[in-house]
């Protein structure tokens, strides 16, 4: 499997649909890195064009991968070691192309259904066929239209038995990774 | 469906297995309430015996359900409205028994496989049959042995294709709710 994820802090939209840049948060780094490590994600790209945000993210990651945090909690260091920082999505895509020797298929996630949906079943098949994937998650109110326009497909929105669909990006990323990379045989008694 | 969840801050264990009380965190309240609301959870019990932690949790919840937060972001208020605070797990169980008119089946979650496992498939069936459930999630390094001894069953640990199993409680709760209450038909194109 060749699955990478990117958490996009710019360009995303705010609640009234304007394009903004959002702030990096500590728990987005930790939770998505831990879920990524669990499900075998190769790289977890944290995308922000703001130099100070990149420095903050690098300090947090360094604390756990090289500093005191990792010496106390090596599992956390192991999780955060999949984080790679970059200024733009184009940069992440370029580097992922170098990593895999081929441009990955870029799939967005969105709380609203899009025309170019790819089902979870289809994407599981692509992963099984070793097609490299880059899964995009948007912070704030989600990925901006310019990002949605450049992707190869969009996963269906996560829905439960209610019309409420305001999951945190941490929850959404965890659920998407479980749906795409989870082992259904582990749902039962035997492993 | 009659599914409640409880996030337990005491008694839980620390990394060396000692029983401790952990701190309430803002994002545990938000993320699990948002996932709970998405998947139709009735009550999200936040369990802590520490009076100041209960006050902190009440202030956070109040900000979103009655205060300024909810006026700006009503969806967040709607999510946090499922939170109920209590000092002990016994209290949550007693109140859930009153709510449902019958003692709910109490199921723990754990990162290690336990003898009294109930498969996700079986538990989905129970939910479909309207059996009231109380799902327990532990903070810190997980629920203490005394809690594990009193439950009716334990869900299998969440595993991906790697041996790493150190998800955040926010990720674990989101994934468990999706597995138990998600609508697989939404994974595909049609809703």
Residue A77 CB neighbours (<10 A): 18
- The DSSP element (H or E) to which B140 belongs, if any, is none
Contacts of B76 in chain A (CB under 8 A): 166
Smallest CA–CA separation between B51 and chain A, in Å?
Answer: 26
> Is there a contact between B186 and A79 if contact means CB atoms under 8 Å apart?
no
> Per residue in B125-175, pLDDT tens?
999 999 999 999 999 999 999 999 999 999 999 999 999 999 999 999 999
**CATH code of the domain covering residue A92:** 3.40.1280.10
Contacts of A161 in chain B (CB under 8 A): 1, 39-40, 181, 183
Contacts of A116 in chain B (CB under 8 A): none
Position A120 pLDDT exceeds 50: yes
- In the prediction, which pLDDT does A54 show? 98
**Strand pairing of A12-13 and A19-20?**
antiparallel
Is-cis flag, bond preceding A139, omega within 30?
no
Mean pLDDT of chain A: 95
> Is there a contact between B31 and A175 if contact means CB atoms under 8 Å apart?
no
> Per residue in B58-98, pLDDT tens?
999 999 999 999 999 999 999 999 999 999 999 999 999 99
C-alpha–C-alpha distance, residues B14 and A185, integer Å: 30
Could you list the residue range(s) of the whole structural domain that residue B33 is in?
Answer: 3-187
User: What is the rounded average pLDDT of the residues A61-73?
Assistant: 94
Q: Judge whether A189 lies within some domain.
A: no
Number of H helices, E strands in chain A: 8, 8
Which chain B residue is nearest to residue A183, measuring alpha carbons?
Answer: B160
Domain count, chain A: 1
Q: Judge whether A163 lies within some domain.
A: yes
> Can you tell me which residue has the tokens 């999505």?
A89
C-alpha–C-alpha distance, residues A158 and A174, integer Å: 11
Token pair recorded at residue A111: 């709380």
Q: Judge whether A191 lies within some domain.
A: no
Q: Judge whether A137 lies within some domain.
A: yes
Question: What is the CA angle B111-B115-B118, rounded to 5?
Answer: 75
Counting residues of chain A whose pLDDT is more than 90, the rounded percentage is: 92
Smallest CA–CA separation between A129 and chain B, in Å?
Answer: 15
Counting residues of chain B whose pLDDT is more than 70, the rounded percentage is: 97
Mean pLDDT of chain B: 95
Of B37, B113, B175, which is closest to A174 when you measure between CB atoms? Answer: B175
C-alpha–C-alpha distance, residues A60 and A79, integer Å: 12
Position A62 pLDDT exceeds 80: yes
Residue A188: pLDDT band (50, 70, 90) is low
Q: Judge whether A101 lies within some domain.
A: yes
Q: Where are the alpha helices (DSSP H) in chain A?
A: 26-39, 51-65, 68-72, 74-80, 89-100, 120-128, 145-150, 169-181
The answer to whether ipTM exceeds 0.90 is yes
- In the prediction, which pLDDT does B188 show? 65
- In the prediction, which pLDDT does A91 show? 98
Closest to B110 (Cα-Cα) out of B49, B173, B57: B173
Q: With a threshold of 0.95, does the pTM exceed it?
A: yes
């Amino acid at each position: 499997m060749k699955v990478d994820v990117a958490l996009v802090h710019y360009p995303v939209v705010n609640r009234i649909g304007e394009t903004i840049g959002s702030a990096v948060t500590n728990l987005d780094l930790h939770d998505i890195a831990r879920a990524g490590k669990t499900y075998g994600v190769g790289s977890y790209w944290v995308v922000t064009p703001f130099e100070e945000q990149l420095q903050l993210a690098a300090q947090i990651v360094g604390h756990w991968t090289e500093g005191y945090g990792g010496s106390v909690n090596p599992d956390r260091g192991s999780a955060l070691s999949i984080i790679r920082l970059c200024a733009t999505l184009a940069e992440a895509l370029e580097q992922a192309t170098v990593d895999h020797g081929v441009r990955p298929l870029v799939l967005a996630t969105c709380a609203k259904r899009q025309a170019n949906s790819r089902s979870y079943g289809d994407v599981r098949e692509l992963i099984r066929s070793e097609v490299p994937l880059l899964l995009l998650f948007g912070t704030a109110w989600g990925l901006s239209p310019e990002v949605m326009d450049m992707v190869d497909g969009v996963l269906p929105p996560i829905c439960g038995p209610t019309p409420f669909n305001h999951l945190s990006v941490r929850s959404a990323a965890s659920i998407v990774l479980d749906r795409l990379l989870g082992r259904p045989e582990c749902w039962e008694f035997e492993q």
